[in-house]
Amino acid sequence: MSITRPIYLIALIGVSCVLSSCSRNGDVWENTKSAGRHMKRGVKALTGTCGDSRQIQCRDDFECIEEDACYPQEDFQEYDYQEQGNYPQNSANDFIPLNDPSNELGQRNPLATPPNATPGDPGCPVPGIQAFHDPSEIPQLACIFQPIHFDYDSSLIKGSENLQIIHHIADFLQSHPHIYVFIEGHTDERGPQAYNLALGARRANTVRNALTGEGVDGDRLFTISYGKERPVISEHSESGWARNRRAEFKIYER
């Protein structure tokens, strides 16, 4: 009897050690996977394989790695979205317009009805975006093709001033049927690369849909997103960010 009791105690201690080791191994495995994921991202950054922001014109051009949407890049904290109740979702239905059409324009599907041809492609009579010109450099057009500005993390067209710009551009294009337009979507500096490219695309396509809703032929309207790569002002302030959240126009006349 006195011999079996120590044996039971030793067996019990052994089982406890095994269970504890398994639990620790599970934690070690999860930590190992996390470390490997961050090392992979670091190697990509050092070798340049993660790439810079790039132009996108349609849904097929956009690629978003899940990790890029989950982990903040650089100094930006995606928790800003959580604090404001607007954590980014990869959905075309994220931003739903209010019920007052006189003050807002939005599109549930901002990538609908793309043009039949892409400028610069073989067989397309319209050259690439390099042949398009900035209308702000043409005095008689600068007051018509003004930038459309957006709220933080939004692709809705809001305010009477923006709506008036849309009306003026639509009237001009309907009376000048040989002019083609590239609509550029831009964002402020906050947010990861991939998300800003998608947001810029939504903004450009919302403007395009607003113009087609005014009667402009969609085959004369093309969109492109530059994300945060082309700010008009480098101020790290709300006033500077507000000016960078915009859609701009480039024109070409055949």
Give yes or no for residue 63 having a pLDDT over 60: no
Percentage with pLDDT > 90 across the chain: 52
What pTM did the predictor assign?
0.61
Per-residue model confidence (pLDDT) at position 75: 40
234 vs 36: which has the higher pLDDT: 234
Distance CA 215, CA 193 (A): 34
Q: Is the torsion defined by CA of 63, 69, 71, 76 positive or negative?
A: positive
Tokens (6 digits) for 135: 């209308």
- The CA-to-CA distance between both ends of the chain, in Å, stands at 104
Reported in sequence order, the residue ranges of the chain that DSSP labels E, i.e. its strands, are 104-105, 148-149, 157-158, 179-186, 221-227, 246-253
Percentage with pLDDT > 70 across the chain: 56
Give yes or no for residue 32 having a pLDDT over 70: no
Distance CA 157, CA 207 (A): 8
Q: Tokens 């402020």: give the residue.
A: 188
Strand 148-149 to strand 246-253: parallel, antiparallel, or no bridges (unpaired)? antiparallel
CA-closest candidate to residue 185, choices 131, 226, 130, 238: 226
pLDDT tier for residue 191 given thresholds of 50, 70 and 90: very high
122 vs 100: which has the higher pLDDT: 122
Tokens (6 digits) for 232: 């008009």
Q: Please state the length of the chain.
A: 254
* 3-class DSSP assignment, residue 182: strand
Per-residue model confidence (pLDDT) at position 116: 87
Q: For 142-173, write each residue's pLDDT tens digit.
A: 999 999 999 999 999 999 999 999 999 999 99
Tokens (6 digits) for 211: 């113009």
Q: Are 201 and 109 in contact (CB under 8 A)?
A: no
Give yes or no for residue 235 having a pLDDT over 60: yes
Average pLDDT of the chain, as a whole number: 75
Distance CA 219, CA 222 (A): 8
Per-residue model confidence (pLDDT) at position 104: 64
